[in-house]
Amino acid sequence: MSLVRKFATVGFGTMASRILGFAREMLMAAAVGTGPVAEAFYAAFQFPNTFRRLFAEGAFNAAFVPLFAREIETGGTEGARRFSEEVFGVLFTILMGLTITMELAMPFVIRYGIAPGFANDPDKLAMTIALAMIMFPYLICMSLGAMMAGMLNSLRLFLAAAIAPVFLNVILVSILAVVWYNGMEGRVVGEMLAWGVLAAGIVQLGILWVAVRRAGVHIGFRRPALTPNVKRLLWLALPAAITGGITQINTLIGTAIASGKAGAVPALNLADRVYQLPLGVVGVAVGVVLLPELARALRAGALREAANLQNRSVEFTLFLTLPAAAALMVIAEPIVRVLYERGAFTHEDTLVVAEVLSIFGIGLPAFVLIKAFTPGFFAREDTRTPMFFAALSVATNISVALALFPSMGAPGIAVASAVSGWTNATLLFGTLLWRGHWGADRPLLARLPRLVLSAALMAGALWWGASWFEAWLQPQSQFLEQAGALAILVLGAMILYFGLAFAIGGADIGMIRRNVRRGGGVKEPPPGP
């Protein structure tokens, strides 16, 4: 299967999840707007979701995958199964202890850590604590599920791991549809959504468990023991967890700071949902696929193969991300209006969320590049260097957010996120270059400025088109008029960008076919064109 087809498999599942996520947020915005219920739910959900990214997806995609792949090569399926059981026993024990501890400490954690700004509203604070206590066990399901997803990715079986997250949004959309149909409101809506999150975690874990068994790996429960393999995993996982979850760390910090201003938390989350579409479809797909492929190439000593994988992945991510970033910066307001402006979500809410979204667009290429750069460290079992850079970017995020939030509100937090993202991406790339782990690639250097030019020309055309369709995009226009005008703008921009990119040499179908096709084994490819 080619690298692009693997990206597409993971990207398809992620896109399905993100599209349903849009449906969820549209219903959420219409049902509760940016009021207290939305603030409480978003703040409470950030907590288990952040732990999931820190100690599940980030850690296991970075630390577990290379070790599991090594066990497959050295010990076969039986060795991989034994290693998985060792990890499962320790991981389950840690998760149970963490969950019990956090459930007991939840009032303190929410009050002083997650949403300190809610202290002046006792009802909202109490609702946030209650919702977080319901949702936190979701962490157990998703962490064990992330381990199984890492196993499937190492076995080059990407579909089940990509599709499983869809069920979170399927369940939440169903709940919101019931809420909308029955005209329900208030705290009961938040509680129904919280129970839905927990149910989705159980469903996702079940799907991945079945997929692993069908792949021929039957995991049993072993008494937890710190074997050499488990110690190695934990040593790699802690810094990898921090690095892999850098976006979520910044989001959690932003949520804590934003809780000091009414409506800021939902505004950040609604904008985040839009920009997570290209970040998830492109960035997550590349990161998930590239790590096991790169680890396999390096272990086989195929250095040219590894260099080609890295360069083609960056080329692919920028090819798809630059136009998305340009569109978010230019037409954020029409996008937010079409997606959210109805029911309890007002025109004033649209203006705030659109400003946040346009700033997120500036940082989008950086966060996608981080997903492409970090496998260059993780595949070499170096998780400490990216952790150090992640810590620097978090410090940057906190400093800029605290400086800008009093005067700018939610948009100030978005600026801090973008600045920290570019800081992290620059440090990662510079270090890879300095260590000789990233060689100069003439095709990439030739195509990059042409891709930037194509995206810039597309942005100019979008700006002109938005002014031409201005009458259709106004708040007083009918939804179908707004959606139709936005669809024409987006479709026209896509045609223009891809046409320009291929016409001026920013992209080449032949290059994609020649340089990204991969067979079952690792071998040295011919030099790039």
Mean pLDDT of 169-185: 82
CA dist 7 and 153 (Å) reads 12
Task: Flag whether pLDDT at 250 surpasses 80.
Answer: no
Which pLDDT does position 286 carry in this prediction?
60
Instruction: Round to whole Å and give the CA distance between 284 and 158.
Output: 12
Find the mean pLDDT for residues 96-121: 85
pLDDT at 526: 35
- pLDDT over 70 percentage in the chain: 75
Cβ atoms of residues 451 and 505 within 8 Å? no
Tokens of 394: 């978090």
The pLDDT of residue 442 is 77
And the tokens for 184? 């329900």
The reported pLDDT for the residue numbered 495 is: 94
- Look at residue 521 in the predicted model and tell me its pLDDT: 39
Q: What is the mean pLDDT of the chain?
A: 78
Rounded mean pLDDT, 416-428: 91
Over 50: is that where the pLDDT of 419 sits?
A: yes
Q: What are 178-190's pLDDT values in tens digits?
A: 887 777 777 888 8
Residues in the chain: 529
DSSP state of 34: T
Burial of 36 (0-12, 13-18, 19+ CB in 10 A): buried
User: Of residues 80 and 422, which shows the higher confidence score?
Assistant: 422
Q: How far apart are CA 236 and CA 102, in angstroms?
A: 24
Examine the pLDDT at 415 and tell me if it is beyond 90: yes
Reply yes or no on whether the pLDDT at 205 is more than 80.
yes
Q: Give me the pLDDT at residue 529, please.
A: 36
Q: Which residue did the predictor score with more confidence, 33 or 96?
A: 96
- Please tell me the predicted confidence (pLDDT) of residue 524: 36
Closest to 356 measured CA to CA, from 420, 278, 270: 270
Radius of gyration of the chain (CA): 23
Q: With pLDDT > 90 as the criterion, what percentage of the chain qualifies?
A: 16
Predicted local distance difference test score (pLDDT) of residue 326: 93
Check residue 516 and give its pLDDT.
45
Top pLDDT among 245 and 147 is at 147
What average pLDDT does range 519-527 have in this prediction?
A: 37
Neighbours of 300 (CB within 10 A): 15
Give residue 358's pLDDT band: very low, low, confident or very high (50, 70, 90): very high
Q: Binning pLDDT at 50, 70 and 90, where does residue 208 land?
A: confident
Q: Quick check: 113 pLDDT over 80?
A: no
- Can you read off the two tokens belonging to residue 133? 């206590």
More confident residue, 145 or 217: 145
DSSP assignment of 480-519: HHHHHHHHHHHHHHHHHHHHHHHHTTS--HHHHHHHH---
Q: pLDDT tens, 124-141?
A: 889 989 999 999 898 888
Q: What is the pLDDT of residue 523?
A: 38
List the one residue out of 100, 24, 6 whose CA is nearest residue 277.
24
Is the pTM here over 0.85, yes or no? no
Tally the C-alpha atoms within 13 A of residue 529's C-alpha that lie toward its C-beta. Answer: 14
Whether the pLDDT of residue 58 is over 60: the answer is: no
The helix-helix angle for 264-278 and 3-32 (nearest 10°) equals: 160
Predicted pLDDT of residue 328:
92
Q: What is the DSSP string of 193-239?
A: HHHHHHHHHHHHHHHHHHHHHHTT-----------HHHHHHHHHHHH
Each residue's pLDDT tens digit, 258-295: 777 777 777 887 888 787 777 666 655 565 555 556 66
| Rounded CA separation 447/451 (Å) | 6
pLDDT given for residue 244 in this prediction: 57
Q: What is d(CA 465, CA 469) in angstroms, rounded to the nearest whole number?
A: 6
d(CA 128, CA 113): 12
